[in-house]
Structure 1
Amino acid sequence: MVSAFDHGGGVRSVRVPIPDNPLGHTLVYVVDTDRGPVLVDTGWDDPGSWDALRAGLAACGTAVGEVYGVVITHHHPDHHGLSARVREASGAWVALHAADAAIVRRTRETRPERWFSYMAAKLTAAGAPEAHVAPLRTPRARTLPGLSPALPDREIVPGELLDLPGRRLRAVWTPGHTPGHVCLHLEEEHPARLPGHGRLFSGDHLLPGITPHIGLYEDPDDATVTDPLGDYLDSLERIGRLSPAEVLPAHQHAFADAPGRVRALLDHHESRLAGLLALLAEPLTPWQLAERMEWNRPWTDIPYGSRNIAVSEAESHLRRLVKLGRAEPVPGSDPVTYTAV
């Protein structure tokens, strides 16, 4: 069954499946312009996903070969995965924020062994047990998607209008989920005249029922201490002030009341930080903190790769608490433990 939906005002969405993933699909938006359709994201690089995108575009009355441009909200493979195939089939330009373009470039250029040794060192420093780290010391060939993603040929510049002839689509930089994540503000009256300011393609930044992953920005060659959770919270408040009439996210469904959703997410993270402070009444490594945090299933049921993501999220919250002066590392601890102040 073809999954295409008309949101009105020359905007449609196509459901592109994500194989073996509880999210189910990515919503790829098709925006009519005077030069042909422009896609917001492309979906996962998989033969079934490609077929779904092509069928969805046909249901929208167009085809991959007619695509004029591709605007990518962020570099993750369920958003950027099919960009190269779309460009190859259509000659479309592909635009991405410079910070995520740098990640794409690094991913393409870094040898697998460098990534494995870097991740092993990171997890060891976070207090991961040797049994968890050991598989990274005997790396296998990389077969994951997104490891040779398309190099963009255009840069998304925050605050500027994108090249959508006949439309007004402005880039809003919203770092947090990734360093170069952008939301895209369609500065046009809502087709149903809902109150608010246009429509917002929110990528993974603002979702109706999911809290996006906020982990560390991994770069083997950059020792800068980032604060991705702080970036995310600041970005949320900026989107809340924008007050779009409707949000068109990359997963789940469209929704109104962006300021209300922003408040709920700000409250969620404040509550989570308070919960982590309570856990840090005793010194804990990031791994031990992740083991004790609340996830959508018990720690024992979380698979290997997802534990790495959970530890990264624990570390991002720890960095926020340290920056706020509410937690600190214990001097001389190895691996380093943290405690509430």
Structure 2
Amino acid sequence: MTRVTDHGAGVQSIQVPIPDNPLGHTLVYLLDTDRGPVLIDTGWDDPASWDTLADGLTACGTSAAEIHGVVITHHHPDHHGLSARVREASGAWIAMHAADASVVRRTQENPPERWYAYMADRLTAVGAPEEHVAPLLAALTSGKARPLPGFDAAVPDHDIVPGELLDLPGRRLRAIWTPGHTPGHVCLHLEENHPAGLPGRGRLFSGDHLLPEITPHIGLYEDPDDATVTDPLGDYLDSLERVGRLGAAEILPAHQHAFTDAASRVRELLTHHEARLTDLLTHLAHPLTPWQLAERMEWNRPWNQIPYGSRTIAVSEAEAHLRRLVKLGRAEAVAGSDPVAYVAV
């Protein structure tokens, strides 16, 4: 059954399912404007997800054909996946931060084989065992490299400019750049009085940046053509503090449920990441590769129960934490190690 929630003052949300994912669904928001309804995110590109979105729009008193525009918080397929279908149905424009729009273009301009080779090289460099890299190499040699999720996603029409109001007549929706989960993640600050009179400065569509009960994945910004050493976790922590200072009355996230007291949640997340970094230093008393560190990190299940794809994501998160420790001067790479190993300073 399609679940729709009315958040008041022309804001509704639709639970759009994510197939085979413990998150369950993406909260797609519908915002009324003087030029027609606008979606914030769209959900995963899957027939059942599309049917749920279409049914939800009907329950909200509109349809996909009537959508005026689509604002994407970030490029991940559970947010951007259905954008092309919405545009096909309505002719709606699609807006995204330039950094994530670049990821969409890069994904489509590089053939799947390039991505498989890149991932195999990256995993080998961080100490992944041969059995983990082998499926990627087998797909390459057999010519059966499948397109990545999001390979057919819509290329956005407009760039979201941080700090500026979006062109939505009748509404005041300002883009807040919050990199970390992705390089171009944005939160969207609805600078209007809360419909229930809650104290604070409007409402914040927080995407995956700020969630009520879980922490978003912070991995690396992958780019086969750019060797820049980024610091996604540092970006995320800085962005958290920026959002905490907004003083929004209510947070409307892309997963789980709406909540208040963003500042308290920000403090919890900052404390969580500092504790995690400190814990990792105990593991790094002796040199470890990123893969070995990921094996020792605390996840939501034991390492031997984590599926193949999730292990690749986990080691990316381990790398992001290592980069933060190195930047803070609390860890360093061991000279001459291959694959690279790190040790606490």
After TM superposition, the score normalised by the length of structure 2 is 0.98
Could you tell me which residue of structure 1 aligns to residue 311 of structure 2? 307
Could you tell me which residue of structure 2 aligns to residue 125 of structure 1? 125
Could you tell me which residue of structure 1 aligns to residue 83 of structure 2? 83
1:152 to 134, 147, 156: 156
Q: Cα offset for 1:134? A: 1.1
1:186 to 185, 190, 194: 190
1:322 to 307, 323, 326: 326
Could you tell me which residue of structure 2 aligns to residue 233 of structure 1? 237
Please tell me whether residue 219 in structure 1 is matched to residue 223 in structure 2. Answer: yes
Please tell me whether residue 285 in structure 1 is matched to residue 289 in structure 2. Answer: yes
Could you tell me which residue of structure 2 aligns to residue 274 of structure 1? 278
Q: Cα offset for 1:145? A: 3.1
CA distance, structure 1, for counterparts of residue 34 and residue 55 of structure 2: 22
Of 138-147 and 67-76, more deviation after overlay is shown by 138-147
Q: Does structure 2 conserve the Cα–Cα contact (< 8 Å) formed by 1:247 and 1:254?
A: yes
Q: Does structure 1 conserve the Cα–Cα contact (< 8 Å) formed by 2:237 and 2:270?
A: yes
Q: Percent identity over the alignment?
A: 79
Could you tell me which residue of structure 2 aligns to residue 12 of structure 1? 12
Q: Does structure 1 conserve the Cα–Cα contact (< 8 Å) formed by 2:116 and 2:145?
A: no
Q: Cα offset for 1:176? A: 0.1
CA distance, structure 2, for counterparts of residue 336 and residue 23 of structure 1: 33
CA distance, structure 2, for counterparts of residue 63 and residue 167 of structure 1: 20
Counterpart amino acid of 2:74?
H
Could you tell me which residue of structure 1 aligns to residue 34 of structure 2? 34
Of 46-55 and 145-154, more deviation after overlay is shown by 145-154
CA distance, structure 1, for counterparts of residue 2 and residue 269 of structure 2: 33
Consecutive unaligned residues in structure 1, runs of 5 or more: none
Could you tell me which residue of structure 2 aligns to residue 51 of structure 1? 51
Q: Cα offset for 1:144? A: 4.6
Q: Cα offset for 1:41? A: 0.1
CA distance, structure 2, for counterparts of residue 144 and residue 120 of structure 1: 14
Of 134-143 and 306-315, more deviation after overlay is shown by 134-143
Could you tell me which residue of structure 2 aligns to residue 66 of structure 1? 66
Q: Does structure 2 conserve the Cα–Cα contact (< 8 Å) formed by 1:107 and 1:148?
A: no
Instruction: Please give the residue correspondences for 1:231-270 in structure 2 after superposition, counting only pairs within 5 Å.
Output: 231-270=235-274
CA distance, structure 2, for counterparts of residue 147 and residue 273 of structure 1: 34
Instruction: Please give the residue correspondences for 1:162-181 in structure 2 after superposition, counting only pairs within 5 Å.
Output: 162-181=166-185
CA distance, structure 1, for counterparts of residue 145 and residue 277 of structure 2: 38
CA distance, structure 2, for counterparts of residue 232 and residue 92 of structure 1: 31
Q: Cα offset for 1:312? A: 0.2
Q: Does structure 2 conserve the Cα–Cα contact (< 8 Å) formed by 1:39 and 1:71?
A: yes
CA distance, structure 2, for counterparts of residue 69 and residue 79 of structure 1: 14
Q: Deviations over 1:212-241 (max 9, x none)?
A: 000000000000000000000000000000
Of 135-144 and 302-311, more deviation after overlay is shown by 135-144
Q: Cα offset for 1:143? A: 5.1
Counterpart amino acid of 1:46?
D
CA distance, structure 2, for counterparts of residue 85 and residue 224 of structure 1: 34
CA distance, structure 1, for counterparts of residue 14 and residue 338 of structure 2: 49
Counterpart amino acid of 1:306?
S
Structure 1's consecutive aligned runs of 4 or more residues displaced over 4 angstroms after TM superposition are none
Q: Deviations over 1:45-80 (max 9, x none)?
A: 000000000000000011111111000000000000
CA distance, structure 2, for counterparts of residue 156 and residue 325 of structure 1: 34
Q: Does structure 1 conserve the Cα–Cα contact (< 8 Å) formed by 2:112 and 2:147?
A: no
Counterpart amino acid of 2:295?
E
Counterpart amino acid of 2:233?
L
CA distance, structure 1, for counterparts of residue 180 and residue 261 of structure 2: 21
CA distance, structure 2, for counterparts of residue 295 and residue 313 of structure 1: 11
Consecutive unaligned residues in structure 2, runs of 5 or more: none
CA distance, structure 1, for counterparts of residue 27 and residue 309 of structure 2: 24
Please tell me whether residue 334 in structure 1 is matched to residue 338 in structure 2. Answer: yes
Q: Secondary structure at the match of 2:245?
A: helix
Q: Cα offset for 1:258? A: 0.3
Could you tell me which residue of structure 1 aligns to residue 25 of structure 2? 25
CA distance, structure 2, for counterparts of residue 255 and residue 150 of structure 1: 31
CA distance, structure 2, for counterparts of residue 304 and residue 40 of structure 1: 31
CA distance, structure 1, for counterparts of residue 342 and residue 235 of structure 2: 22
Could you tell me which residue of structure 2 aligns to residue 102 of structure 1? 102
Counterpart amino acid of 2:297?
M
Counterpart amino acid of 1:151?
V
